Structure 1
Amino acid sequence: MLVSLRSALLIFAAVSGSSVAPAQVGPSSEPLIAATSASLPKIVEPDRIEYPALPVSNDPVVTPDTDSTADVQATPAKPTGDLPSLVEQFRSADAGSHEVECLAVGIYFESKSEPLAGQLAVGQVIANRANSNGRFPSTYCGVLFQRGQFSFVHGRSLPSVPRASRQWQTAVAIAKIVDQDLKDSAANNALFFHAKRVSPGWRLKRVASIGNHVFYR
């Protein structure tokens, strides 16, 4: 019986030991704190830097034009209007260049008493000769000095003109109009002309009759 009692006690002790809970955290450990009661570390924000406010402009924003350059200037428009209006714009005692002065001299001595259209046609003949690609001299002055072509030319100098006269200033205006190709003439492609009072018998194509002159190609 003694043995049986001892065995029973050993069995009881073994059964009781198997139900003991796992070891707990010792008293030296810190207790857990509920999240709701915990004191979270405070985040310190850096001091803010205050910048002065920029001035507000009401001016419209201008976008630069990338296709344009500062040194490009607009091409001035050509003068327009009828022939009398253009003559008034260009009338001057100064032709502006030696070549244009030669053209004006030719217009003056050949047609100063003609209507404006007749003076324009005479100037156009001189210009057409200068632009004829080798058939005549290539400058206005050269055309005038070509031998036997203009009766008012003697030697290698042109006769003087009365620069203060209205007729000369009109011839200058016509010369500038012809030189800049501002007005078409009825004799636009003519290379020759003569006064109506003569009959040279030219076998040329007649292109116009203006004032006291007949024009040919």
Structure 2
Amino acid sequence: MNPLRVGAGALAAVLLATPIVTAGSGALAQDSHDRTRAEAVEQTALPQVEPLSPPSAAVRFVASEVVQDIADEQAAEDTVTPSDAATLAELVAQTDTAALAPEVRCLAQAIYFEARGESLEGQLAVARVVINRAESDAFPDDYCSVVTQPSQFSFVRGGRIPEPPAGAVWTRAQALARIAHRDLWHSPAGDALYFHATHVRPGWAGRMTARATINRHIFYR
């Protein structure tokens, strides 16, 4: 299980040793052609996807107080029993989505807006990247801060995460967030920290090691 890291003094994160920046791309290491294609995707009914890229040299994470209201989630984890689900779909159907901690809700929103059109495995892999980033010294220390980090998730506007509409798709995303947070199902994405859609070719990808290709996403470390 990968518990959320909390505390009054989050450590300052370590910048990546080699910045990956292309002209005009800012924190997203992606050429203008990739940007054009990504913008085109935004106009479709599919989830909008931008490559999750390494932070640029200009990004610094400063130690600050982090308060996470995860008491209910932690208590639920302490009483969780092993599932007899034979498939991820069965586990999703068995998972209670009531009283999600705020941080786990941010994780669910990332799943919904980045991968709601993907398979369950594809959605779980996106959740795995967010969790891995929260556990890495190179990124913010909690799910919400990872998701709202500037220039990483295109669905975030002005530092705010949109509210998903109620329905089965949102309920499924919440179940997957809880499953990922509690590490109840293995993901081929493994320790991936980055991903991009298969229809783009960001320059930074050549410096990373691919972990898995799941549906329309490629995952890297």
Interval of TM-score (by shorter of Structure 1 and Structure 2): 0.5 to 0.7
1:150 aligns with 2:153: yes
Contact kept, 8 Å, 1:95 with 1:104, in 2: the verdict is: no
1:193 aligns with 2:175: no
- Of the three residues 130, 137, 140, the one matched with 1:137 is 140
Alignment of 1:78-117 (within 5 A): 78-81=82-85, 82-90=87-95, 92=97, 94=98, 96-117=100-121
Q: Distance in 1 between matches of 2:185 and 2:210?
A: 21
Contact kept, 8 Å, 1:100 with 1:179, in 2: the verdict is: yes
Q: Distance in 2 between matches of 1:104 and 1:76?
A: 19
Q: Indicate the percent of aligned positions where both proteins have the same amino acid.
A: 46
Q: Distance in 2 between matches of 1:91 and 1:191?
A: 27
Aligned to 2:170: 168
Report the secondary structure of 1:114's partner residue. Answer: coil
Shift of 1:76: 4.8
1:216 aligns with 2:208: no
Aligned to 2:122: 118
Shift of 1:157: 1.6
TM-score (norm. length: structure 1): 0.62
Aligned residues: 141
Query: Which amino acid is the alignment partner of residue 106 of structure 1?
Result: A
- Which protein has greater RCO, CA pairs closer than 8 Å, 6+ apart? 2
Shift in CA distance, 119/95, structure 1 to aligned 2, threshold 3 Å: farther
Contact kept, 8 Å, 1:95 with 1:101, in 2: the verdict is: no
Shift of 1:127: 0.4
> 1:104-138 CA distances to partner (integer Å, 9 max, x unpaired)?
00000000010000001000000000011x21011
Query: Which amino acid is the alignment partner of residue 84 of structure 1?
Result: A
Contact kept, 8 Å, 2:107 with 2:143, in 1: the verdict is: yes
Contact kept, 8 Å, 2:150 with 2:159, in 1: the verdict is: no
Aligned to 1:55: none
TM-score (norm. length: structure 2): 0.61
Q: Distance in 2 between matches of 1:194 and 1:76?
A: 33
Structure 1 or 2, whichever has the larger Rg, is 1
Alignment gaps of 5+ in structure 2? 1-77
Shift of 1:75: 5.5
Contact kept, 8 Å, 1:91 with 1:169, in 2: the verdict is: no
Query: Which amino acid is the alignment partner of residue 200 of structure 2?
Result: V
Q: Which runs of 4+ in 1 moved over 4 A?
A: none
Q: How well do the aligned residues superpose, as a CA RMSD in angstroms?
A: 1.6
Contact kept, 8 Å, 1:196 with 1:212, in 2: the verdict is: yes
Alignment of 1:42-57 (within 5 A): none
Contact kept, 8 Å, 1:91 with 1:170, in 2: the verdict is: no
Q: Distance in 1 between matches of 2:179 and 2:208?
A: 27
Q: Distance in 2 between matches of 1:76 and 1:99?
A: 19
Shift of 1:192: 0.4
